[in-house]
Homo-oligomer: A and B are copies of this chain.
Amino acid sequence: MDATIKKICAGDVRMASRLIRDIEDKIPEAKAKIKKLYAHTGKSFIIGITGAPGAGKSTLTDALIEQLRKKNKTVGVLAVDPTSPFTGGAILGDRIRMQRHAEDAGVFVRSLATRGALGGLSQSVGNAIHVMEAMGKDIIIVETVGIGQQEIDIINHAHSVAVVLVPGMGDEIQTMKAGLMEIADVFVINKANRAGAMQLHTELEGMLNLSSKATDGWKPPVVMVGDAFEPQTFAADTAALTNKIEEHQLYLQESGKLTERMHRKAMTEIHDALRDSLFEPIVNSLTTSGEMKRFAEKIKNRKTDPYTVAEEIAQRFFKHQEEK
């Protein structure tokens, strides 16, 4: 076995961290490593935690780590920062909280930001999860801000998804809920001591009862979690949340739905890899040759249109041109 792979499978934190960093930086060798690593992956249970900015996801993740450690589960955490295509590196201020687990060998926390465009983040997330799986973590928590399509791609790497909502976050959250309804396996009403928590609970239950999920075998529970500044209730609430997620894990296993989720996950990974192996090489070669720039110029001057350009490119690169 490759030395790096061997070390990662033995839980070597430094090697694992380096590979995750290489994945993030899109270093070509990382891809070869992941291919070798792949046979050693797929045994962890992946929990996705998503919600709007400010919903308190990091604090909840931190509490989940604590609860899972009490149950002697080893935990990997991947904090995904979708804002950093711009900064090239994240300002992960509130993730510092999780540092208190830094001394615990059973916990491995890493953050991941986007470099470059074109949907590379979902693939990096998938691969960073694989590194943690190879390390042998029982549970891997993927935390991401959940709003757009990309975040959904990310959450498709999880087996079980907790959606975090907060009372009183305005109109658009209402809109979001409809979307989040489809991906949520567990709902968390965080900061549930705030005004409007019970109303949000009622609304959610109402939406759930109307949705297809009501009769689906698993109706997503709504867990209320109080303020983190009241340690006792917070600990009790997050323990309840942990139990609900474990119940869902059991349900997935016993109903055979885990297989479905694993299938969905594999499909997501094929999509990601195709983008990487098919789409990006074409875009890169056209960019390097300067053709992309010339195409853009012609489009700008309305001498052609993007579809015609794309068809031209497709004809050049494709063996079988699709019927139009």
* A interface residues with partner B (beta carbon < 8 Å): 31, 34-35, 38-39, 41-42, 52-54, 58, 81-87, 90-94, 114, 117-119, 121, 126, 145, 147-153, 169-176, 178-183, 259, 262-263, 265-267, 269-279, 281-283, 285, 292-293, 295-297, 299-300, 302, 305-311, 313-314, 316-320, 322
Question: Are B297 and A266 in contact, CB atoms less than 8 angstroms apart?
Answer: yes
Cα of A305 to Cα of B127 in the assembled complex, Å: 11
Chain B residues, CB < 8 A from A114: 149
- Given A86-B182, A91-B175, A148-B82, A53-B266 contact (CB < 8 Å): no
Question: Are B54 and A299 in contact, CB atoms less than 8 angstroms apart?
Answer: no
Q: 12 A–B contact pairs at CB < 8 A?
A: A53-B170, A53-B176, A82-B148, A91-B175, A114-B149, A117-B153, A148-B151, A263-B300, A270-B296, A270-B309, A273-B306, A278-B314
Tell me the nearest residue of chain B to A93, going by C-beta. B171
CB distance from A38 to the nearest CB of B (A): 4
A53 partner, pick from B92, B172, B278, B308, beta carbons under 8 A: B172
Question: Are A178 and B91 in contact, CB atoms less than 8 angstroms apart?
Answer: yes
Cα of A90 to Cα of B54 in the assembled complex, Å: 23
- Given A178-B91, A283-B274, A35-B300 contact (CB < 8 Å): no
Given contacts A117-B153, A274-B279, 7 further A-B contacts (CB under 8 A): A91-B178, A148-B150, A259-B300, A263-B300, A274-B314, A275-B279, A278-B318
Question: Are B282 and A296 in contact, CB atoms less than 8 angstroms apart?
Answer: no
Chain B residues, CB < 8 A from A86: 178-183
Chain B residues, CB < 8 A from A259: 300
